[in-house]
Amino acid sequence: MLGIGIIGVGYWGPNLVRNFSSLGGACKVVGVCDQRPERVKFIQNQYPSVKGYASDEQLIADPDVQAVVIATPVFTHHRLAAAALKAGKHVMLEKPLTHTVAEAEDLLNLAHKGGLTLMVDHTFLYTGAVRKIKELKVSGEVGQLLYFDSVRVNLGLFQHDINVIWDLAPHDISICDFISGKKAKAVNATGVAHYGQKIENIGYLTVQYEDDLLAHFHVNWLAPVKVRTTLIGGTKQMIVYDDMDPSEKVKIYDKKVVFTDATGKEDKEQVYQALVEYRTGDMRAPKVESTEALKLVAQEFITSINEKRKPLTSGEDGLHVVRILEAADQSLKQNGAQVKL
């Protein structure tokens, strides 16, 4: 039974405690720590057998803890994860993996040297909706991906340490990376900080991927409504992914555009002389798995450790997202100038 220690039990931490505790004999939540003693007490009231540590150093040093889960502000990720890896502990971090590419690369090196698992919690990759979209892509039903256009907006929660791109965009960047399997080539980002703040609360991020895949991410803390919608265009089919829809999160549209020459044959070379034909078919909404994504995240962490394999959302995947976010910061400082990766 793998002993789990959880650092940070504020907003997301209690969900981690609950899901790791639900795995039965696979693992055991040994203890938790937080800078606020009242949060530790809150967890212990619900789980009396869980230890409360006065510091992260004590938790990491406990021999009963073989794996450390970190749900703290991103600026603390490198210090905490590096300490755990150096102590021989497996590590799972909340998104984003770290605040810089250099920090992410250092954690990867430490994990590799120690033969340890380093995982990032890109939760949406474990949802039934995203897995279904990936399945459609792999099967060839969607065709070649042309664009990925997402909107993730709501009123709040304002962060004091990271801008809205670092807060919200990692979800959609990780989804795009996962579904497409492509590497990003260049990044443009624009954003605005209102109310005299120095942290952007509205952001627009454009990422050019391999094979002419264009991704656009709109994130906003100032929207009057909560929107979680993504449009995915393929050469064969198009998809609308609405995470706020309770029953039909994924809708597949049998729509596409075909360029043909005067004889009706498909003409990819002479598009400027071609005729445009629009194909419109049916829409269907497939059933998607409803298991809580975070439970699958916890299972994947434990299973990947036991099987000594790379997890679905590995440290390398986290590094790729951080590389895009770091480039976005550079672009913001240059008024939206393109930053190549």
Digit-coded pLDDT (tens) for 217-240: 999 999 999 999 999 999 999 999
Bond into 73 cis (ω within 30): no
Q: Which amino acid is residue 177, in one-letter code?
A: D
Please report, to the nearest 10 degrees, the dihedral formed by the alpha carbons of residues 89, 93, 99, 101 taken in order.
60
* The pLDDT of residue 175: 98
* The pLDDT of residue 157: 84
The enclosing H or E element of 28 equals strand 27-33
Please report, to the nearest 10 degrees, the dihedral formed by the alpha carbons of residues 35, 169, 198, 160 taken in order.
-20
* The pLDDT of residue 25: 87
Residue 46 three-state SS: helix
The enclosing H or E element of 191 equals strand 184-192
Taking the CA of residue 12 as centre, how many other CA atoms within 13 Å lie in the half-sphere pointing to its CB? 14
Residue in 127, 70, 118 with CA at minimum distance from that of residue 94: 70
Count of beta carbons in the 10 Å neighbourhood of residue 157: 9
Digit-coded pLDDT (tens) for 149-179: 999 999 988 888 899 999 999 999 999 999 9
* The pLDDT of residue 278: 76
Whether residue 267 is predicted with pLDDT greater than 90 in this model: the reply is: no
* The pLDDT of residue 327: 98
Q: At what angle do helices 164-180 and 128-139 cross, to 10 degrees?
A: 40
Q: Is 140 exposed, middle or buried (0-12, 13-18, 19+ CB in 10 A)?
A: exposed
CA 219 to CA 233: how far, in whole Å? Answer: 20
Digit-coded pLDDT (tens) for 100-132: 999 999 999 999 999 999 999 999 999 999 999
Predicted TM-score of the model (pTM) = 0.93
CA 317 to CA 178: how far, in whole Å? Answer: 9
